[in-house]
Structure 1
């Protein structure tokens, strides 16, 4: 019997691009609305400023809980309330693990923004924004998304040693990791531009909002 061949890396890239066209368009429209609200609404500006001050005051614990809450708690609660999605029996364990993972990623995002200020300054001119976007998407994102994909698969497969060895194989990189990083590059470019357009103190709150919106979009797309 002939086995089913794995899709090639090129097919994986094409599939990832096509799968992210619709959610990407929705996200980009949301970004336009966010920029408009920030530009024209003093209440939005004040809210983001207070949020940024709160996060700065709490440092890394603030980054941990903010990012985890907007990546896990907010999308899940809205999904249950709006989409009426069923609650799996493992929800507490799954959410606790996701909260931990995204909290760690949130702290790494704070480090990223601090490093970029040191490297490129805190301005929001076109040259600075482009430098930060390229560093974000070509240096930070490949590493952080590899960690995220690997750790969730490791958890799903029972934290086995065999899973750890497989994370550095060609099969894992082309079949599991490549579609994720292609999706990030296809969709998050405009989002990253919006983040680095903001003052440094507001970049983390805006990134948290975009992340939450992005996860919600995928939940709605899967439900549709």
Structure 2
């Protein structure tokens, strides 16, 4: 089925109309962190302590903090800004989302490490551009989004695993990836330029700010897709 640009961006526009205050709050905090690192004396030393905890915590730190940034914090913000009458997620849905974010945290942490090995730790324009392009045009559509969409499809068919596996078709996954990817391309490139401009030891902690904002949009889109007629069987 042919999908035009308006159809791709509609879920993102709907999500932004609902959650723009939460998005601005989180992005403002991320910008404040970057500005303070470069311009406020003593901030770099304080952030180095965050980097120390990240290094010492390893993959456990990546998993737990991504659950907080991608699951817990956005849910608290959504409860504050969600329109009256909208249903809150069930305990099962929250557990499903938190588990997904823990896995994503592990994947992203290793991807950042991989990029540092391939492209280096510089923050020159060429290096920044290479990392953003690799992130948004390769890593995100080929690995992260197929995993997320498949995770939601299986949850939607949790009462019948066989039906869930049958729904994991290329066409179905592609159809559901496109709106989220379009949203990603509207949000992440600029955010990643900020993330990758910091020393590598601080890139994952700063990613957590962006992840909190974007996950608010992404979960909104994924839930809307599951509520559409036909669910995950398109």
Q: Is TM > 0.5 for Structure 1 vs Structure 2?
A: yes
Structure 2 length as normaliser, TM-score?
0.76
- Separation of aligned partners in 1, 2:88 and 2:9: 32
The gaps in structure 2 that reach 5 residues or longer are 221-234
User: Are 2:196 and 1:201 equivalent residues in the alignment?
Assistant: no
Give the 3 Å change call, closer, same or farther, for CA 46–194 of structure 1 in structure 2. Answer: same
Aligned partner of 2:116 in structure 1 is 117
Structure 1 length as normaliser, TM-score?
0.79
Aligned partner of 1:141 in structure 2 is 140
3-state SS, counterpart of residue 61 of structure 2: helix
The gaps in structure 1 that reach 5 residues or longer are 1-5
3-state SS, counterpart of residue 161 of structure 1: helix
Aligned partner of 1:165 in structure 2 is 166
- Separation of aligned partners in 2, 1:12 and 1:43: 47
3-state SS, counterpart of residue 9 of structure 1: coil
Range 39-48 or range 184-193, more displaced: 39-48
Q: How many residues align?
A: 211
The 8 Å contact of residues 153 and 167 in structure 2, kept in 1 or not, is answered as no
The 8 Å contact of residues 67 and 106 in structure 1, kept in 2 or not, is answered as yes
Aligned partner of 1:12 in structure 2 is 7
CA RMSD of aligned residues (A): 3.1
Within 5 A, what are the aligned runs for 1:1-224?
8-10=2-4, 11-15=6-10, 18-19=13-14, 23=20, 26=24, 30=28, 32-42=31-41, 44-80=43-79, 82-83=80-81, 88=88, 90-91=90-91, 93-142=92-141, 143-158=143-158, 160-174=161-175, 176-216=176-216
Give the 3 Å change call, closer, same or farther, for CA 144–72 of structure 1 in structure 2. Answer: same
